[in-house]
């Protein structure tokens, strides 16, 4: 299969789907074949913009275009597992899965096991890892330019009023969305671990303070790293009236690094070399998703054509999803919890068939 061209179809035509389409268009060796959404107007808009066929039923799409070999799953988060399993088991397609990849660690394990069984591949999306600021801090941590990490701090202070959650039934639900941590804070959770190192324990308190929704819109947590470092996390969508801050900082034995901006795109403090702040900051005002998706598709191409390992493997992705769940488990248990556990949150990603039926594609 890896001798074939990468031929991608997209299911789920929300706002970020257009960014995927543009990234595919701009990547050599990757071709967009079709787009699909249950809402015809959404699918038609991207179909027209990128001059590809559009569908409202992905089963019809895959039947009409059997040459598709990779499907980008960009549906509501709670549908990722169901859609991924169908792509893998029934249609034998590789899958690209938007954040938070899967809602539960057990779902991730099932998808990877099935992909391995059929010789297929799973490509999780963590586009912010490609940001220049993130790469510079990673380099400084890896080469001991900053020395050992002592304290990691995350602060996300964003505004999501009730009208945001009222836009769609899946928003603000444990079954399909997750709260501020799963939706808005997932990239910072990933970077806490990916840059800061393996996390041993977390404690967390979650509240719903600014909207009438079932999930948390605010969380405050403490983190204990295996290295002995400490961390603190504050994520909220209850800030008013605007988005104010989204940052992650590393207090280290040799200096301080802080990454901020609208999508961890600005190197705001870097004491080993203050001049690096300008050189490794990017302007994301034109697109909050930045440039990472383009780099991700290049990495898929490098894996496909050159056997270069894709930078986000199974255990890497699993560790982030387990860390995410540990915050919810800590809140549920009212105590510190071990991150390296097979336990899962009782709430996050729980089944809701009535809600899922709104996003299921009719059989043909």
Please give the Cα distance from 350 to 139 (Å, whole number).
38
User: Are residue 252 and residue 140 in the same domain, yes or no?
Assistant: yes
Please give the Cα distance from 361 to 58 (Å, whole number).
7
φ, ψ of residue 56 to 5 degrees: the values are -110, 0
In this prediction, residues 122-137 reach a mean pLDDT of 98
Q: Quick one: pLDDT band at residue 2, thresholds 50, 70, 90?
A: low
In this prediction, residues 173-202 reach a mean pLDDT of 98
Q: What is the CATH number of the domain that holds 158?
A: 3.30.360.10
User: Are residue 133 and residue 220 in the same domain, yes or no?
Assistant: yes
Return the pLDDT at 3. 67
**Total number of domains in the chain:** 2
In this prediction, residues 98-123 reach a mean pLDDT of 98
Of 364 and 245, which is predicted with more confidence? 245
Return the pLDDT at 56. 98
Per-residue pLDDT reduced to its tens digit, 204-219: 999 999 999 999 999 9
Return the pLDDT at 288. 85
In this prediction, residues 347-351 reach a mean pLDDT of 98
Residue 109 has pLDDT above 90, yes or no: yes
Return the pLDDT at 4. 82
Longest dimension (CA), the chain: 61
φ, ψ of residue 280 to 5 degrees: the values are -115, 25
User: Are residue 121 and residue 155 in the same domain, yes or no?
Assistant: no
User: Are residue 11 and residue 67 in the same domain, yes or no?
Assistant: yes
User: Are residue 218 and residue 267 in the same domain, yes or no?
Assistant: yes
Per-residue pLDDT reduced to its tens digit, 20-50: 999 999 999 999 999 999 999 999 999 999 9
In this prediction, residues 44-59 reach a mean pLDDT of 98
User: Are residue 113 and residue 172 in the same domain, yes or no?
Assistant: no
User: Are residue 253 and residue 299 in the same domain, yes or no?
Assistant: no
Q: 51 is in which domain, residue-wise?
A: 6-126+293-307
Alpha helices in the chain (DSSP H): 15-25, 40-50, 58-64, 80-89, 105-118, 132-142, 162-165, 180-183, 186-196, 276-279, 292-306, 314-333, 353-356
From the list 132, 83, 138, the residue with the least C-alpha distance to 276 is 132
pTM across the whole model: 0.97
Asked whether residue 198 is domain-assigned, the answer is: yes
Asked whether residue 179 is domain-assigned, the answer is: yes
């Amino acid at each position: 299969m890896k001798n074939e061209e990468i031929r991608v179809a997209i299911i789920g035509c929300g706002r970020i789907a257009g960014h995927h389409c543009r990234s595919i268009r701009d990547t050599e060796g990757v071709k967009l074949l079709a787009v699909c959404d249950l809402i015809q107007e959404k699918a038609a808009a991207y179909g027209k913009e990128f001059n590809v066929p559009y569908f409202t039923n992905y089963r019809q799409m895959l039947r009409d275009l059997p040459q598709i070999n990779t499907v980008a799953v960009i549906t509501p988060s709670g549908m990722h597992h169901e859609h991924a399993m169908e792509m893998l088991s029934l249609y034998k397609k590789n899958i690209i899965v938007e954040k938070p990849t899967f809602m539960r660690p057990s779902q991730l394990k099932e998808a990877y096991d099935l992909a391995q069984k059929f010789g297929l591949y799973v490509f999780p999306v963590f586009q912010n890892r490609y940001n220049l600021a993130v790469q510079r801090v990673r380099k400084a941590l890896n080469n001991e330019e900053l020395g050992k990490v002592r304290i990691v701090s995350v602060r996300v202070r964003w505004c999501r009023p009730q009208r945001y959650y009222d836009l769609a039934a899946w928003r603000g639900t444990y079954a399909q969305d997750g709260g501020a941590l799963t939706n808005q804070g997932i990239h910072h959770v990933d970077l806490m671990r990916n840059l800061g190192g393996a996390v041993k324990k977390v404690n967390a308190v979650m509240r719903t303070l600014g909207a009438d929704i079932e999930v948390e819109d605010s969380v405050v947590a403490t983190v204990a790293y295996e290295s002995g470092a400490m961390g603190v996390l504050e994520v909220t969508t209850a800030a008013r009236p605007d988005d104010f801050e989204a940052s992650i900082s590393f207090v280290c034995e040799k200096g301080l690094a802080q990454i901020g901006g609208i999508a961890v795109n600005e190197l705001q403090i870097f004491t080993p070399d203050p001049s690096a702040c300008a050189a490794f900051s990017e302007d994301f005002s034109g697109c909050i998703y930045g440039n990472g998706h383009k780099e991700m598709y290049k990495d898929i191409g490098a894996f496909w054509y050159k056997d270069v390992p894709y930078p986000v493997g199974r255990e890497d992705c699993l560790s982030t999803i387990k860390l995410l769940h540990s915050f919810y488990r800590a809140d549920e248990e009212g105590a510190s919890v071990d991150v390296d556990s097979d336990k899962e949150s009782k709430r996050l990603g729980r089944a809701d068939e009535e809600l899922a039926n709104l996003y299921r594609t009719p059989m043909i």
